[in-house]
Amino acid sequence: MVQSGGLVSKERRSFIKGSAAASLAAGAGVSPAVWAAGSDAPEKKEVRIGFIPLTDCASVVMASVMKFDEKYGIKITATKEASWAAVRDKLVNGELDMAHVLYGLVYGVHLGIGGPKKDMAVLMTLNNNGQAITLSKKLADKGAVDGPSLAKLMASDRREYTFAQTFPTGTHAMWLYYWLAASGINPMKDAKVITVPPPQMVANMRVGNMDGYCVGEPWNHRAIADGIGITAVTTQDVWTDHPEKVLGSTGEFVKKNPNTARAAVMAILEAGRWIDSGLQNKTRMAEVIADKAYVNTSVDVINQRILGRYQNGLGKTWDDPNHMKFFNDGAVTYPYLSDGMWFLTQHKRWDLLKEHPDYLRVAKEINQTALYREAAGQLKINVPKGDMRTSKLIDGVTWDGKDPAKYADAFKVRAANPA
C-alpha cells in the first residue's frame, strides 16, 4: 500500500542531514576547502542550481543538504522549477547558474532548436537509467502492455492516439520515439505527441489527456500506485546504462567561473558516490527528496525503484540490476562525447535538425571533459581512457559514435521517410 503525502518532518530532516553528514565526514578522503584558496578559489560562492521534481535530482539536492558543497568553498542553492522550458529560459538569461537538466535540451539550445540559441555546456552526467514509458490502464485493459501489443491495438482500433514527453529535444521524447519506432509505430505519423511537465503527467493521464507518456521517476511508479497506468518498458531496456540528466550551464558561465564549475562537479560527484554506496544511503536519500520542497510525493513511490524493485502494474515484479544509478564507481558521471552525439542523431532522425551537424565538433564544444577529468582526478574517481563508448539499443542497432550521419540516416522509421 502506498501512503499518500509521505512528507518528512522537520525533526526527521534535521536528523537525516546531521547523521548523514556525520557518517560521511568520518570517511571522506578529501580535506575541506581543497579548492577554496588562492587562484583555485571559486569565483562565485553561491551557485543556483535549478531542478525538476524527479528522483534523478537527488545528487544535486544531497550535495546541498549534506553540505558537500561547503568542502569546496561554495553553497549550492537548489531551486525547484515548474517545467523544462522554465529551466531552459532561466539558464539562458542567467537566473540559474546551472541545472539538473535534460541532455538533449542542452544540445538543442546550443544549436538553436527547442529555444533561443546559446552556447551551452555539459559538466557531468548526473544519472544513468531509471525512466520508463507508462501506458494507460485503459490501453492495458485492451491488451496493449508493450510495444508489439500497442502496435497491434493501434492498427486494429484506429483513432488518434496521444503520447506525452517532457520537452521536444529532451531525453524522454527520444526514448519514447525510439521505442515506438522499434515497434513499427512512427511517432510523427501514427500518433499525436504533446509536451507535459513531469509532475503533471499523472494528473493528465488520470483525466484522459494521453494514452501513454515517457517521464522520469517517480511518476511512472506513481501511476501504478494510483491505479491509472502500467509500465510498458523501462528506459534501461531501451538502452542499458543510457545517459539521462546532466549538470548543464551556459558556456559563458563556465568560461567566467571555471573554479566554481569544478567545485560544483566535485560536490555532486561526492553526493552521487554517497547515494550509490549502500541501501541505507539510498533509503535516506528517498526520505529527503520525497519532501514537499523537492519531489513532493510519498517515500514509497521513490524508494522501490531506486533500489531496483520494479512492478509493472499487472502483477509482474522483478529486481532490475540496471536501475537508476548516480555514480557506479565513476561509470555514470563521465560526459562521453558519444552520448551527446547520439541525441543529435535522433534530432536529425526526427527532423528537429534539418541538416547533419558536425557531430563531433558540437560535442567537443559542449561536453566539458577536461574540467570533469580534473575534478574526478582530485577525488581519485575512475575516468575512461577515451571519450566514446559503444552500446546496443533495443532494436539491436549498435551506436559507437564513429559515423553519426550514416547511423542517423539508416533508420527505417524516421520523420523524413515514414514507414
Examine the domain organization and report whether 137 and 48 are in the same domain. Answer: no
Reading the block at residue 295, the C-alpha cell is 519531489
Examine the domain organization and report whether 144 and 282 are in the same domain. Answer: no
Q: Kindly provide the b/e burial profile for residues 47-70, where b requires at least 16 CB atoms within 10 angstroms of the residue's own CB.
A: bbbbbbbbbbbbbbbbbbbbbbbb
Is 65 in a helix, a strand, or coil?
A: helix
Is 34's pLDDT higher than 90?
no
Establish if 340 belongs to a structural domain: no
Nearest to 126 by CA among 299, 284, 271: 271
Q: Tell me the backbone φ, ψ of residue 310, rounded to 5 degrees.
A: -110, 150
Establish if 252 belongs to a structural domain: yes
Question: CA angle at residue 194 from 145 to 51, to 5 degrees?
Answer: 95
Establish if 62 belongs to a structural domain: yes
pLDDT, residue 116, reads: 87
Is 252's pLDDT higher than 80?
yes
Reading the block at residue 5, the C-alpha cell is 503525502
Distances in whole angstroms, Cα of residue 331 to Cα of each of 206, 244, 273, 283, 376: 37, 13, 11, 22, 11
Examine the domain organization and report whether 49 and 145 are in the same domain. Answer: no
pLDDT band, very low/low/confident/very high, at 38 (cuts 50, 70, 90): low
Examine the domain organization and report whether 181 and 299 are in the same domain. Answer: no
Instruction: Output the average pLDDT for the chain.
Output: 92
Examine the domain organization and report whether 176 and 125 are in the same domain. Answer: no
**Cα separation, 177 vs 338, whole angstroms:** 19
pLDDT in tens, 259-309: 999 999 999 999 999 999 999 999 999 999 999 999 999 999 999 999 999
Q: Tell me the backbone φ, ψ of residue 219, rounded to 5 degrees.
A: -80, -10
Examine the domain organization and report whether 48 and 148 are in the same domain. Answer: no
Percentage of the chain surpassing pLDDT 90? 89
Establish if 349 belongs to a structural domain: no
Establish if 203 belongs to a structural domain: yes
C-beta separation of 215 from 197 below 8 A = no
Establish if 418 belongs to a structural domain: no
Establish if 3 belongs to a structural domain: no
Is 70 in a helix, a strand, or coil?
A: helix
pLDDT band, very low/low/confident/very high, at 114 (cuts 50, 70, 90): confident
Is 359's pLDDT higher than 70?
yes
pLDDT, residue 37, reads: 54
Percentage of the chain surpassing pLDDT 70? 90
Please compute Rg for the chain using Cα positions. 21
**Total tally of structural domains belonging to the chain:** 2
pLDDT, residue 39, reads: 79
Examine the domain organization and report whether 269 and 377 are in the same domain. Answer: yes
**What global pTM score does this model have?**
0.91
What is the extent of the structural domain holding 193?
131-241+392-409
Strands 162-165 and 192-195: parallel
Examine the domain organization and report whether 57 and 194 are in the same domain. Answer: no
Examine the domain organization and report whether 224 and 149 are in the same domain. Answer: yes
Examine the domain organization and report whether 138 and 98 are in the same domain. Answer: no
pLDDT, residue 277, reads: 97
Examine the domain organization and report whether 101 and 231 are in the same domain. Answer: no
Establish if 60 belongs to a structural domain: yes
Q: Which domain CATH number covers 20?
A: 3.40.190.10
pLDDT, residue 33, reads: 44
Examine the domain organization and report whether 275 and 398 are in the same domain. Answer: no
The mean pLDDT value for 33-37 works out to 50
